[in-house]
Amino acid sequence: MPELAEVEVVRRNLVDWWEGRAASEVRLLDEDLPKESAPEQFVDALRHVVTEIRRRGKYLICAFADASSVVFHFRMTGKIIRCASPDVDYARAGWRVDETGWLVFKDQRRLGEARVFEAGEIDEYAPLQRMGPEPEDVTLQHLRDHCSDRRMLKTALLDQSIVAGVGNIAVSELFWRLQFAPGVKCGELTDEQMQALIEEMPRYFNEIIDFSMADEIRYIEEAGAASEKSPFQVYGREGEECPRCFDTIEKIRVGGRSSYFCRRCQR
């Protein structure tokens, strides 16, 4: 599932591929991709010049010269890639941005979505309005104010109204780095431990972004991904050795989600 890092990789690619250009041709291959707007509205929006491409949490926001915006949410398997043709597996939309290539919204599970907003409307879009600060902007006071002592830290971090962009993979990796137990409660951590988390979050995401930069992001469960080098120390590595203490990595469910951890060094 795309988290902050994967969406940021797509954003950086699109700045190079699309920003400052308008689509000369648009093919909407799946009319369920646009949500709460007519298919023609989505097609028309992409025909305007893109003036800015930014990310907010796990959302990709494209602003156009006519003051409209399109917000992409990739959900489980969505991504935007560059191809010679829109005729690729799992393509849901394609738009030509120059003579040599197309941008294609590819989505194997078809859960991703795009929403079109006219001038000023995006300011009222609730998921963006409710979103918490980006990891690099989080403060100790913010976490203490928004994380009750009895709440599990994992569920707090996955709450996008507390921190934007953090997902289940990131939590397993951050907890391993900081040696936090997977079920630790917010009130069980000292201010020093909370501050260590605040400092590690942007460091972790920057490392994953650097590792993942490519023309096409790859998700762990995609065909062929298992043979590629993984940037993760514990996520998806149940039964393997812990890179730090060489004990066995385990998998349990915390807050209804899978958590990978080392019992010996995450106490």
Q: What is the pLDDT of residues 162-179, one digit of tens each?
A: 999 999 999 999 999 999
75 is catalytic: no
Is 220's pLDDT higher than 90? no
Q: Determine the pLDDT at residue 44.
A: 96
- Residues in CB range of 114: below 8 A, 6 or more apart: 33, 34, 35, 42, 70, 71, 72, 73, 93, 105
Based on the domain organization, do 238 and 158 belong to the same domain? yes
Residue 267 inside a domain? The answer is: no
Query: 3-class SS at 74?
Result: coil
67 and 160 assigned to the same domain: no
pLDDT over 80 at 100, yes or no: no
Does residue 80 share a domain with residue 14? yes
Q: In which residue are the tokens 């394609």 written?
A: 94
Q: Are residues 198 and 85 in the same domain?
A: no
Determine which helix (DSSP H) or strand (DSSP E) holds 257, and give its type and residue range.
strand 257-262
pLDDT of residue 62: 98
CA dist 136 and 185 (Å) reads 22
Residues 143 and 45 in one domain: no
pLDDT at 41 > cutoff 80: yes
Is residue 197 in some structural domain? yes
Whether 202 maps to a domain, the answer reads yes
Based on the domain organization, do 100 and 172 belong to the same domain? no
Q: Is there a domain that residue 85 lies in?
A: yes
Q: Which of 151, 244, 257, 264 is catalytic?
A: 257
Same-domain check for residues 95 and 157: no
Residue 2 annotated in active site: yes
> Residue 78 sits in which domain range?
4-129
Same domain, 243 and 226: yes
Name residue 26's beta-bridge partners: 95
13, pLDDT greater than 90: yes
- Last residue of some domain: 96, 129, 162? 129
Q: Which of 94, 112, 129 is where one domain is finished?
A: 129
Q: Assess whether 194 and 227 both reside in one domain.
A: yes
Residues 10 and 114 in one domain: yes
Of 3, 6, 113, 134, the active-site residue reads: 3
Mean pLDDT, range 142-160, rounded to an integer = 97
User: Is residue 57 included in any domain, yes or no?
Assistant: yes
Catalytic residue (one of 11, 55, 56, 58): 58
Q: Please state the pTM of the whole predicted model.
A: 0.94
Tokens representing 163?
């921190």
Question: How much is the pLDDT for 229?
Answer: 82
Q: Which of 2, 34, 135, 182 is catalytic?
A: 2
The reply to whether 84 falls in a domain is yes
Q: Helix, strand, or coil here: 44? A: helix
Q: How far apart are CA 179 and CA 264, in angstroms?
A: 9
For the record, the structure tokens of 224 come out as 């062929």
- If asked whether residues 38 and 98 sit together in one domain, one would say yes
In the chain, the percentage of residues whose pLDDT exceeds 70 is 96
- CB neighbour list of residue 210: distance below 8 Å, 6 or more residues apart: none
Final residue of a structural domain among 69, 98, 129: 129
pLDDT of the residue at 219: 79
- Residue 3 annotated in active site: yes
**Residues 18, 121 share a domain:** yes
Q: Residue 37's pLDDT band (boundaries 50, 70, 90)?
A: confident
257 in active site: yes
Q: Answer whether residue 222 shows pLDDT above 80.
A: no
Residue 66 sits in a domain of what CATH number?
3.20.190.10
pLDDT, position 69:
97
Total count of domains within the chain: 2
